[in-house]
Structure 1
């Protein structure tokens, strides 16, 4: 690769790359993100490669493995350019037909197009699909057009133009002022103003200064940072280099969780290619500015996503939090001024520099600007990554983009902000999604997970699940978090099993208040949100468990009973054959009966009973 020494050389290279690309040439873009790879994308890629070679079409058709475009529910995703025909659920067996009909003849493979589940209307292009139509995809919209392993793809779409603008036309203070005017807030969960953090680090005494990308995304159901780092690592790297220039740093780190091997691979390749192009390392673009980056793989600890814990890990120590008597922007990594932002925050920076702070500020709410990427998961029809303007309501995200609740169930609420977030009830779905409104409801933005909960989910059981997760992930350094979570789990276990006491609610609230006030880091202070929010919004479910020994959602095994309706049972024997405890036997009248002394409430009989019959009755009878 040619090492660039000036802005003119960068512009010439970009023009050269663009000139060699034939916009009319058929291009097959295949999502090769982790989600689609799990659904067989690798075999789809190979099938295209083999069939194109077999038909001697290598010079006529280009195949590109891209990042995740978001619609994970429908993978493997394939887009055929130049028309942009969007195929969903593609398997290797579909490849010959796609090549023969769509690429060679221009016809559509109708069964691979998205169809509206209500009207049956088909969608040919990306923006025709409701999942995409209601989004504002400034960050992840380019994923399907970029091979993350090829820096030229990023350059062809204007990549590193923001860096050139900064290095050749802006002082560090001007960069910080632009970011401050944009009102960009950190997307990692805390929502701290990014420009203020950078300014604090720049003004802080001490050398060297450091910049860090936090890709230790540990929230259950969250994969926003992973998709960006896998699909468009250069956008994150460009933002990181700009941040380094702004604060006067010459050394940076990308901290990636161990469970993201593809993100590590693509980030490492991006760093190497950027160095080869003269966009990273010594004398970047001939400006005399030196900056380089090291990748550090996290050891899998959830708490290491906390800023001081992450810095401890980078220093080779146990990844546990330390007291924040001084901000890390003033005294962070190795006691030096340090800027730490998450992946999405850095990816926004090139957009702000190229489009201007005013453009960024024009999107969103009064105190939460720009777009936000969310992972939309749980009991919703269209799961995946969505990018929307701050301020869109939860209802619009779930119903317009997510396609409503799966299985035609009733919506109970949503859980936002990861395991330290809160559960928001269905009656509050008109809430605009921003930092302040979610906090008002007892939840938080977090890194951006939205878990949709239906009527079959027990609020008590859900709170217990997240408390158990956090109990395992707590570093144990401070007593309020370590012991508070254990005690909360014990109480919730008792309530779930029908052994709860009326005083348990007050005890949970007292523990929560202590943890909020006395925990060392944000994990302990926010770990109480699932408990407090479910008590606040679903108190009646706690009361039912405690006072009636009944689970309204029919979820808690200890409070659920299975029986067989003899008037409906068709004696098919499926339940008896599949019961792991041998608890089902045939009565003298010929229908099945469940021996309650042997039943372990596994629910297999309920699931396997023919849906047209539904002879198995599931109930929570409560106190005898």
Structure 2
């Protein structure tokens, strides 16, 4: 039974009244009680780093006491990762859980202000509506609009943007718990983390721990194939989640987004969705993105596309980002184009050149993504380097924002039998006529729905569908 997504089987969005009907009133917690709750459920940040929430609370409280007592709470709702939409789903459909968690934390810390940093129009509108539904209590909450970029989600970048500066990392090794919003000690965590603490505050430690694993209790939000947001208990089989979402490990699964790691098919079939299990396969849960790579796309080409995009998303403020990442993308492109054995050596050299040298984690994360791909797809990259390649097109199974020039789903009327499986998978694309056949022979497919379109093509019993660029 879902926790964060409870009630969405009845309505698409929980307003304030529906939220209270589903979840009940939010208890008050003092600082020490909230810290003990977070420790009791071992709540860790759900944005990538997995830092213990209780330690953040203590650090902010300690910094505030050593200063003038002032502090702030900030929700990182930027989600600039193009393969992720789990936080977006929470903010669009159950925004009051996030507000609950943020206001609960602010009350425990004595924080004067809660700020939510967002990058999307629809998310901003949903939050502003939720804040208005709170009446006077919502006056403590401010929604701040920021640029929609990958690096916006970095902690100092988000704080800089909210404070009116450029939304770029400052490169300084200063924790936001010591100096964050307007120079105040700041509790900064992502959307899902605040929603989880709001659920835990109502359930208590024992009931919260009734799902998940002994070491990692509770549920986790995931984005599968860049299109489907799901909530599952921690420790759930990765293979089961993929099957539930109508897909399979394929050639491998990228876990954790574009700063994540690849799992080969054999590992993906036995791994569980927990930090402990994924670590044993050299994987990370990261931002909760689960991206299976279909059999009919080129792994090397997919990795090259993402490496190029990541190079363009850098802050451009330090050498490893401004020069190193574009050089790494060039080296990957040269390898994929058949640059010979020297091309593989060049990729390795470029990765060594950016690691542990950046002002933020972006160079390390991008290099780690490429290194993991080389380890999981060694034959693919070797064949490309030697000029033979794999003969497959790059279908864009790893979603990128620039893919908004849509491909088309084409129906072959000589084969179509009206089974209707395509509309089950693509209700936003396919419409049926009165006879149960697709109403159009050619339909545009937005980039975000490409993985589902590929599944529709593979599942058509009559082989009547194809993707046309």
**Structure 1 length-normalised TM:** 0.60
Partner of 1:68: none
Partner of 2:368: 529
**1-side partners of 2:323 and 2:293: how far apart?**
29
**1-side partners of 2:251 and 2:273: how far apart?**
18
**1-side partners of 2:463 and 2:198: how far apart?**
59
Gaps of 5+ in 1: 1-135, 282-291, 558-571, 573-606, 615-624
Provide Cα deviations, 1:154-197, integer angstroms capped at 9, x if missing partner.
122234x22xx21xxx4221122211221011001110011111
Change (3 A) 1:363 1:158: closer
Partner of 1:508: 347
Equivalent positions of 1:333-372 (< 5 A) are: 333-365=181-213, 367-372=215-220
In 2, are the aligned partners of 1:466 and 1:530 still within 8 Å (CA)? Answer: no
Partner of 2:314: 474
Partner of 1:262: 122
Partner of 1:315: 163
Higher relative contact order structure (alpha carbons within 8 Å, sequence separation ≥ 6): 2
In 1, are the aligned partners of 2:73 and 2:115 still within 8 Å (CA)? Answer: yes
2:398 matched to 1:539? Answer: no
Equivalent positions of 1:416-455 (< 5 A) are: 416-429=255-268, 430-455=270-295
**1-side partners of 2:326 and 2:377: how far apart?**
22
2:398 matched to 1:555? Answer: no
How far apart are residue 423 of structure 1 and its match? 2.1
Residues paired across the two proteins, number: 397
**2-side partners of 1:333 and 1:513: how far apart?**
34
Provide Cα deviations, 1:349-368, integer angstroms capped at 9, x if missing partner.
12211111233334334543
How far apart are residue 150 of structure 1 and its match? 3.3
How far apart are residue 416 of structure 1 and its match? 1.9
Range that drifts further, 509-518 or 240-249? 509-518
Could you say what secondary structure the match of 2:363 adopts? Answer: helix
2:144 matched to 1:296? Answer: yes
2:90 matched to 1:228? Answer: yes
- Which residue among 178, 188, 194 is the counterpart of 2:37? 178
How far apart are residue 229 of structure 1 and its match? 0.8
**2-side partners of 1:612 and 1:344: how far apart?**
42
Could you say what secondary structure the match of 2:171 adopts? Answer: coil
Provide Cα deviations, 1:362-403, integer angstroms capped at 9, x if missing partner.
43345433211111126xxxx52211111222211112x123
Change (3 A) 1:509 1:390: farther
Gaps of 5+ in 2: 396-413, 415-456, 465-469
Could you say what secondary structure the match of 2:169 adopts? Answer: coil
**1-side partners of 2:277 and 2:50: how far apart?**
13
**1-side partners of 2:152 and 2:129: how far apart?**
24
2:151 matched to 1:151? Answer: no
In 2, are the aligned partners of 1:146 and 1:154 still within 8 Å (CA)? Answer: no
Change (3 A) 1:365 1:516: farther
Change (3 A) 1:434 1:515: farther
In 1, are the aligned partners of 2:260 and 2:285 still within 8 Å (CA)? Answer: yes
RMSD value, Cα? 2.5
In 1, are the aligned partners of 2:297 and 2:394 still within 8 Å (CA)? Answer: no
Partner of 1:464: 304
**Structure 2 length-normalised TM:** 0.79
**2-side partners of 1:367 and 1:478: how far apart?**
39
2:15 matched to 1:139? Answer: no
How far apart are residue 307 of structure 1 and its match? 0.6
In 2, are the aligned partners of 1:254 and 1:293 still within 8 Å (CA)? Answer: yes
